[in-house]
Amino acid sequence: MKEKILNLIQHFLQFLARVKVRRAKPKIIAISGSYGKTTAKEAVFSVLSGKFGTDVGKNWGNMNSVLGLPLAILGLRSYSFGFGLLGNIIQAKWNFLFYHLPKILVLELGIDKPGEMQELLSVITPDIAIITGVSETHLEGLKNLEGVKKEKNLLIEALGKGGIAIINGSDANSADLKVPEGVKKVTFGTSGADISASDVQVTTSGTSFNIVMTGKKVFVNSKLIGSHSIQNLLIATVVANQFQINTLEIKSALEAVRPQNGRMNPIKIRDGMIVLDDSYNSNPKSAEEALLALKEIKYDGRKVAILGNMNELGAYEQKAHIRVGKAAGEIVGLLIVAGDNAKHLASGAKEAGLAEDKIKSFSTSEELIEKIDGLIKPHDLILIKGSQNRVRLERLVKYLVNDNELAGKILVRQEKKWQGK
């Protein structure tokens, strides 16, 4: 019964948002992919809003679902579960009548089941469609990599003549995404793409590199950490070029982009230790990229990875955790694993040659928090990454930060609706 009511609410809100969009006719930039969506959205928003100000809007936080997206289009910046949703619906109805939709919308689209992309595309029609990359995510619903690609490709197929498809040229899984006739395709990534990066340097405070485009180079000193983060800035550069924004404005906007909470966000804690807080979510591709960033950083102290479950992987679950554990075992001096798949992460690390006494396993984040002070040491560089369900590693980050007020500002899932979950 509850599911039927929620479906009715979703369809009602989708109807309101669809009508709102069709009346206002904003230019829509839609971003999807298996990783990097939110950071890409923020980078694109930073560049465009720097030029066009309040004429540019976005969906805030992770309001990217079949429920969250229509609420975002109707002017809400967050929403509640349970009875709180009633207030959100009332606000959405009011905003349907009186909220002024910006001329440009930068929208992140998130899916985890077949049919959800089509639902989102029933609300919006993109002018620019961006695929950050395709990997093994949400396999419980989407079954396999081909299922993921099929859903993501629907976004590209929704483009009309004159539309622009921006695709990750360094991702083999995105290379064969079908682009409709009359749509311009632009690639980003490694050399050979339409826009790429060179001379990459990664530190605990950011990543510097050169953007290479149309025969010229632009130096960017980014606050984002890891070579994988560059792709999101390249996406923003491609979009900026479509809006004829000049090079200096692009550089300034990209350098203003900061890490999102829970996404490779560096936090200094006690005794010279640095936490790379990547606790928002995890999947095999993003976990490997975070570990690569840890490897790329030149650092005198010990490198530690604390890894939790990667959810919704279906039949690929065991293999994926072994794969990520192996990647970690090749990089870190200490690996701490937590959750139902800790044994598979540990197995992969042992396979990579990490000594057994350098691997510590825990069933829950609560058990880990009890023991963490005896495991880490001054000047450690600590990557913390996991999916949200069952382990919730942001709780560990909060313990290490040891400042409730600061935690409320810089960590994910600190809102009241998350506290009892």
What's the whole-number mean pLDDT along residues 309-315?
Answer: 92
**What pTM was computed for the model?**
0.94
Rg (CA), the chain: 21
Q: Is the pLDDT of residue 191 over 80?
A: no
- The better pLDDT of the pair 379, 139 is held by 379
Distance between CA 301 and CA 298 in Å, rounded?
Answer: 9
- The better pLDDT of the pair 421, 131 is held by 131
| Cα dihedral value 395, 342, 356, 372, nearest 10 | 10
Query: In the chain, what are the domain boundaries?
Result: 2-256, 265-419
What tokens were used for 187? 């690639």
For the domain bounded by 2-256, which CATH number is listed? 3.40.1190.10
Phi/psi at 80 (nearest 5 deg)? -110, 165
- Fold type of domain 265-419: Protein-Tyrosine Phosphatase; Chain A (3.90.190)
Question: Which pLDDT score is estimated for 81?
Answer: 78
Question: Which pLDDT score is estimated for 4?
Answer: 87
Q: Is the pLDDT of residue 343 over 70?
A: yes
pLDDT per position as a tens digit, 42-72: 999 999 999 999 999 999 988 999 999 999 9
pLDDT per position as a tens digit, 376-402: 999 999 999 999 877 899 999 999 999
Question: Which pLDDT score is estimated for 3?
Answer: 83
pLDDT per position as a tens digit, 230-284: 999 999 999 999 999 999 999 999 999 999 999 999 999 999 999 999 999 999 9
- Name residue 288's amino acid: E
Q: How confident is the model at residue 6 (pLDDT cuts 50, 70, 90)?
A: confident
HEC string of the chain? CHHHHHHHHHHHHHHHHHHHHHHHCCEEEEEECCCCHHHHHHHHHHHHHHHHHHHEEECCCCCCCCCHHHHHHCCCCCCCCCCHHHHHHHHHHHHHHHCCCCCEEEEECCCCCCCHHHHHHCCCCCCEEEECCCCCCCHHHHCCHHHHHHHHHHHHHCCCCCCEEEEECCCCCCCCCCCCCCCEEEEEECECECEEEEEEEEECCEEEEEEEECCEEEEEEECCCCHHHHHHHHHHHHHHHHCCCCHHHHHHHHHHCCCCCCCCEEEECHHHCEEEEECCCCCHHHHHHHHHHHHHCCCCCCEEEEECCCCCCHHHHHHHHHHHHHHHHCCCCEEEEECCCHHHHHHHHHHCCCCHHHEEEECCHHHHHHHHHHCCCCCCEEEEECCCCCCCCHHHHHHHHCCHHHHHHHCCCCCHHHHCC
Beta strand 195-203 with 206-213 is antiparallel
Question: Which pLDDT score is estimated for 334?
Answer: 98
Q: Is the pLDDT of residue 416 over 90?
A: no
What distance lies between CA 416 and its chain's CA centroid? 22
- Percent of the chain scoring above 90 in pLDDT: 89
Same fold, 2-256 and 265-419: no
152-165 burial, b at 16+ Cβ within 10 Å, e below that, comes to bbbbbebbeeebbb
Q: Is the pLDDT of residue 339 over 70?
A: yes
Q: Is the pLDDT of residue 80 over 90?
A: no
* Spatial CA neighbour of 21 closest among 123, 129, 161: 123
Q: Is the pLDDT of residue 1 over 70?
A: no
Question: Which pLDDT score is estimated for 330?
Answer: 98
* Mean pLDDT over each residue of the chain, to the nearest integer: 95
